[in-house]
Chain A
Amino acid sequence: MDDGLQSWGRYPTAQQSLLRLRDRFAPLPAFDGHALPRGNGRSYGDVCLDDGGTLLDVRGLDRFIDFDPATGVLRCEAGMLLGTILELLVPRGWFLPVVPGTCFVTVGGAIANDVHGKNHHAVGSFSCHVQCFELLRSDGTRRVCSLNENADWFAATVGGLGLTGLITWVELQLRPVAGAWFDTETRRFDRLDDFFELSETSARSFEYTVAWVDCTTRGSALGRGVFSRANHCAAPPTAKLPREGRLRMPVVSPFSLVNGPTLRVFNWQHFHRAPKTLQQSPQHYRPWLFPLDGIRDWNRMYGPRGFLQYQCVLPPAVARDGMRELLERIAASGQGSFLAVLKQFGAIVSPGLLSFPRPGTTLALDFANRGRVTFELLDRLDDIVVAAGGAVYPAKDARMSGERFRTYFPAWRQFEAFIDPAFSSGFWRRVMQ
């Protein structure tokens, strides 16, 4: 049973108590010291941890409140899982406008981290589609926040890492779809430059684009990968529903299954199995959008020390050179993982003071926690990101220095004024040092 003591990266660990909320009308329960709202614990580092404090578990706030089938406006409690919304409303012709790589996140968590998806270039981040929400503060006050009402609280809370108060309910604008399927096109590419060209030519006619990148290759094969793009579509005539993922990593592996040799073999195979020219195929939304959700508890494969995610964004002007530098550095280290993702962000401005998505190119990948060598590598990657004027994603971070955070997110000064005096997190205390 989930005790809520770890984040998805299984690093770091924290000691805290858990209070479960089930009634959105009730005041916050009493707690000693500081507290932090907690959704489904799918962020990777310490933004969802509060060592020495109390986690306010909102998973019991999982009720729908209202859905208007004419307009696609959905109101629900903040602990609602994105997967539950899709399960219920896709058959009725509506889809979430933005989903991250897993459907096991709560609506509140999606706002607190202002998550993004493979369609960022077309529709922006999750919070761009949030009409309004209610924010409950530890002093008992409640505010309905939107772009028009309490707009300053809206901007602070969106991407605000749960620190500005507890979101009780949310109103979202969904988008109509013809069905649960995607028309996908996939091909491999041999060089990093090809990724940029494919992204550019696909951006207008494809709502979703993403690339897997081989982070082990250097020299002429540096930045090779597999590019995918897709649009929503109705069920194809021959559609077979995907089997429900029943695979599961049953125990924590005693050592990381992701290491130099397994990584090279997997990546070589993954690249060479991909088609050389664009190949079309219809795919159900579940395997296309949430491939890893098919393997429960996959985070256990990184062994007892867990793993660190690293996601950064580099501004457009320096993205090509910067990405090349990052990938060279990672390949030379022999670390990295299968799960390396490249994506072009679009120009739509994220509404939060601390929102991560911004124009440019984003790279995300996992590193098995090998201790000092891993932390040193990530510090070197940060050097490149800082020099390029980029940023690192707090939702996936467990180690960036406070100085770096404050450089990446200069609006932290304005943000500070909105923090609930009774709320804190491991992440926030770390980056304020």
Chain B
Amino acid sequence: MNGRRILIVGATSAIAEATARLYAVRGDALFLVARDARRVQAVAEDLRVRGAASVQTGTLDVADFAAHADTIESACAALGGLDIVLIAHGTLPDQSRCESDTDLALREFAINGTATIALASRIARKLEAQGSGTLAVISSVAGDRGRASNYLYGSAKAAVSAYLSGLRQRLSAPDINVLTIKPGFVDTPMTAAFRKGALWAKPEQIARGIVRAIDRRRGVVYLPWFWRPIMFTIRAIPESLFRRIRL
């Protein structure tokens, strides 16, 4: 499997960059979208040397909803169609600041939730028109249950996960797949401030899991796998108990 046409939104994120490298080595064609033109250019140069058939770039601030359509159109035109789309942009909001600043909370929700849904809905229409393609979106284990430590982020990711679940049902054509990616703790610049323990994974490890899940046309993937039983357990805790613990 090579020579595929791949669009990545949020391409300078650590997980997206590691994933793009795996596709570049396979000889795929990539269109990278990120906020910072210079940084996305650096990623593109790297992928070209690694063996990508071609790499083109575009800039987009996902909070600028009005610009979504043009970006997707230009990627489609440049690639001549979309075989795989990975939506990987995101921020990790400061939960306590979001509690005292509602405007900030809404802005963060827009980036991690609404913008992702807006992009997914436009791309879904493209895939539907083509009759084929994979839409893979990075959600999070944080979306499985709201927890005091990061429920603004969690609620945005919950919205994304629920949206993708419905989208997957709607687009149940044989050649179309919608993949929800739920990484656990990943050691990236987004989480630089955290102390790292045994549950933390490297972006390269998550990237291999993403490519495998896309190849196998999976619906939902927890990365690494052990987050599935962990989140199953956390979801199973009765609310009466959950409200009294801190996670």
The answer, yes or no, to whether A1 is at the interface (CB within 8 Å) is: yes
Q: Are A25 and B42 in contact (CB under 8 A)?
A: yes
Q: Are A22 and B189 in contact (CB under 8 A)?
A: yes
Stretch at the interface among A60-68, A150-158, A250-258, A310-318: A60-68
Q: A1 — which chain B residues lie within 8 A by C-beta?
A: 187, 196, 200
Check A24/B187 contact, CB under 8 A, given A1-B200, A66-B49. no
Q: A383 — which chain B residues lie within 8 A by C-beta?
A: none
13 further interface pairs, Cβ-Cβ under 8 Å (given A60-B189, A64-B48, A88-B50)? A1-B196, A22-B14, A22-B189, A24-B42, A25-B38, A25-B39, A25-B42, A63-B42, A64-B46, A65-B45, A66-B45, A88-B49, A88-B51
The answer, yes or no, to whether A143 is at the interface (CB within 8 Å) is: no
**In the bound complex, how far is the Cα of B46 from the Cα of A22, in angstroms?**
13
Q: Given A20, A25, A63, A88, which contacts B189 in the complex, CB threshold below 8 Å?
A: A20
**In the bound complex, how far is the Cα of B47 from the Cα of A88, in angstroms?**
12
Residue of B whose beta carbon sits closest to that of A69:
B49
Residue of B whose beta carbon sits closest to that of A18:
B192
Q: How far is the CB of B190 from chain A (nearest CB, A)?
A: 11
The answer, yes or no, to whether A149 is at the interface (CB within 8 Å) is: no
The answer, yes or no, to whether B105 is at the interface (CB within 8 Å) is: no
Name A6-38 residues within 8 Å CB distance of B.
20, 22-25
Q: Are B187 and A63 in contact (CB under 8 A)?
A: no
The answer, yes or no, to whether B76 is at the interface (CB within 8 Å) is: no
Q: B192 — which chain A residues lie within 8 A by C-beta?
A: 20
Q: Are A65 and B46 in contact (CB under 8 A)?
A: yes
Q: B167 — which chain A residues lie within 8 A by C-beta?
A: none
Q: How far is the CB of A91 from chain B (nearest CB, A)?
A: 10
A51-73 vs B, CB cutoff 8 Å, 1 = contact: the mask equals 00000000010011111000000
Q: Which of B46, B49, B187, B189 has the most CB of A within 10 A?
A: B49
B39-60 vs A, CB cutoff 8 Å, 1 = contact: the mask equals 1001101101111000000000
Q: List 13 A-B contacts (CB under 8 A).
A: A1-B187, A1-B196, A20-B192, A23-B42, A60-B189, A63-B43, A63-B45, A64-B50, A66-B45, A66-B49, A76-B49, A88-B49, A88-B50
Residue of B whose beta carbon sits closest to that of A62:
B46
Q: B196 — which chain A residues lie within 8 A by C-beta?
A: 1
**In the bound complex, how far is the Cα of B50 from the Cα of A67, in angstroms?**
9
Q: A64 — which chain B residues lie within 8 A by C-beta?
A: 45-46, 48-50
Point out residues on A near B: beta carbons under 8 Å: 1, 20, 22-25, 60, 63-67, 76, 88
Q: Are B38 and A63 in contact (CB under 8 A)?
A: no
Residue of A whose beta carbon sits closest to that of B49:
A64
Q: What 3 A-B pairs are tightest by C-beta distance, nearest first?
A: A64-B49, A63-B46, A64-B46
**In the bound complex, how far is the Cα of B196 from the Cα of A60, in angstroms?**
17
Q: How far is the CB of B199 from chain A (nearest CB, A)?
A: 11
Q: How far is the CB of B39 from chain A (nearest CB, A)?
A: 6
**In the bound complex, how far is the Cα of B25 from the Cα of A88, in angstroms?**
9
Q: B43 — which chain A residues lie within 8 A by C-beta?
A: 63
**In the bound complex, how far is the Cα of B43 from the Cα of A20, in angstroms?**
17
Q: A22 — which chain B residues lie within 8 A by C-beta?
A: 14, 189
**In the bound complex, how far is the Cα of B13 from the Cα of A60, in angstroms?**
12
B169-191 vs A, CB cutoff 8 Å, 1 = contact: the mask equals 00000000000000000010100
Check A23/B39 contact, CB under 8 A, given A1-B187, A1-B196. yes
**In the bound complex, how far is the Cα of B196 from the Cα of A25, in angstroms?**
27
Q: How far is the CB of A142 from chain B (nearest CB, A)?
A: 14
**In the bound complex, how far is the Cα of B189 from the Cα of A25, in angstroms?**
16
Q: A23 — which chain B residues lie within 8 A by C-beta?
A: 39, 42
Q: How far is the CB of A40 from chain B (nearest CB, A)?
A: 14
Q: B49 — which chain A residues lie within 8 A by C-beta?
A: 64-67, 76, 88
**In the bound complex, how far is the Cα of B48 from the Cα of A76, in angstroms?**
12
Q: A25 — which chain B residues lie within 8 A by C-beta?
A: 38-39, 42
Q: B200 — which chain A residues lie within 8 A by C-beta?
A: 1
B189-225 vs A, CB cutoff 8 Å, 1 = contact: the mask equals 1001000100010000000000000000000000000
Q: How far is the CB of A300 from chain B (nearest CB, A)?
A: 18
Q: B38 — which chain A residues lie within 8 A by C-beta?
A: 25
**In the bound complex, how far is the Cα of B49 from the Cα of A64, in angstroms?**
6
Name B1-54 residues within 8 Å CB distance of A.
14, 38-39, 42-43, 45-46, 48-51
Q: How far is the CB of A84 from chain B (nearest CB, A)?
A: 9
B42-82 vs A, CB cutoff 8 Å, 1 = contact: the mask equals 11011011110000000000000000000000000000000
**In the bound complex, how far is the Cα of B45 from the Cα of A76, in angstroms?**
10
Q: How far is the CB of A85 from chain B (nearest CB, A)?
A: 10
Q: B42 — which chain A residues lie within 8 A by C-beta?
A: 23-25, 63, 65
**In the bound complex, how far is the Cα of B39 from the Cα of A67, in angstroms?**
19
Residue of A whose beta carbon sits closest to that of B39:
A23
**In the bound complex, how far is the Cα of B43 from the Cα of A23, in angstroms?**
10
Residue of B whose beta carbon sits closest to that of A89:
B49
**In the bound complex, how far is the Cα of B187 from the Cα of A1, in angstroms?**
10
Residue of B whose beta carbon sits closest to that of A26:
B39
Q: A76 — which chain B residues lie within 8 A by C-beta?
A: 49
Q: How far is the CB of A106 from chain B (nearest CB, A)?
A: 15
**In the bound complex, how far is the Cα of B189 from the Cα of A63, in angstroms?**
16
Q: B39 — which chain A residues lie within 8 A by C-beta?
A: 23, 25
**In the bound complex, how far is the Cα of B46 from the Cα of A63, in angstroms?**
5
Residue of B whose beta carbon sits closest to that of A23:
B39
**In the bound complex, how far is the Cα of B43 from the Cα of A25, in angstroms?**
12
Q: A24 — which chain B residues lie within 8 A by C-beta?
A: 42
Q: B46 — which chain A residues lie within 8 A by C-beta?
A: 63-65
Residue of A whose beta carbon sits closest to that of B187:
A1
Residue of A whose beta carbon sits closest to that of B200:
A1
